[in-house]
Amino acid sequence: MDIGTLIEEVIEREGGYSHHPADRGGPTNWGITQGVARENGYAGDMRTMPRAVAESIYRRLYWERPGYAFAAEIAPDVAAELFDTAVNMGPAAATGFLQRALNALNRNQKDYPDLTVDRRIGAKTLAALGAFMALRGRGGERVLLKAVEALQGERYIALAESRPANEAFLYGRLANRIG
């Protein structure tokens, strides 16, 4: 797994400059919202934000800081999904989906203890992921991936139900971000 490849895929999917009226994130370029760009030191016009700025933000905020590089050593496909979900929903949401899925798949704590869903990758989450993978292998990783994506899909639908303007994005999110 190469984070550079994952970043390329996200940028390809997100495209260039956008300012959709239903998007609460406001102006976006390369998938980076203006708010995130400003929080990370970019003060220029979003239409001309360099791609390298977006790549740096993706690497730092959505891969390194949440600890997905460590998860990738154990379950690379799950880590790739966590990165993509974090880009779209934030690292806390993505990590929470992983923790909830691991809890639901531990056979009532027979395989490893339940995790506190604190929405952060730490030693206990990595240990649970490692125990799950040791027991279930690559086939189990596919099941865990489905569980994480199911939680993500449910959240997209809930967002569309709670704010009708979000329906403008639902089809594309389900088509491009789930399975």
CA distance 85 to 97: 9
Q: Quick check: 6 pLDDT over 90?
A: yes
The Cα–Cα gap between 28 and 25 comes to 7
- For residue 35, is pLDDT > 90? yes
pLDDT at 148 over 80: yes
**What CA–CA distance (Å, rounded) separates 26 from 137?**
42
Integer Cα distance of 145 and 151 in angstroms: 10
- Other CB atoms within a 10 A radius of the CB of residue 98 amount to 29
Q: Average per-residue pLDDT in the chain?
A: 93
Residues 6+ away with beta carbon under 8 Å from 79 = 1, 68, 69, 71, 72
Which residues 6+ apart lie within 8 Å of 88 measured at CB?
173, 177
- What's the average model confidence in pLDDT over 37-51? 96
Amino acid 20: pLDDT: 76
pLDDT tier at 156, thresholds 50, 70, 90: confident
Give the model's pLDDT for residue 82: 97
More confident residue, 11 or 177: 11
Q: What is the pTM of this model?
A: 0.89
Tell me what the mean pLDDT of segment 141-152 comes to. 97
∠ at Cα 48 (176, 51), nearest 5°? Answer: 50
- Mapped onto helix, strand or coil, the DSSP state of residue 32 is strand
Residue corresponding to tokens 């967002």: 159
- Residue 179 pLDDT: 75
Residue 171: the pLDDT is 85
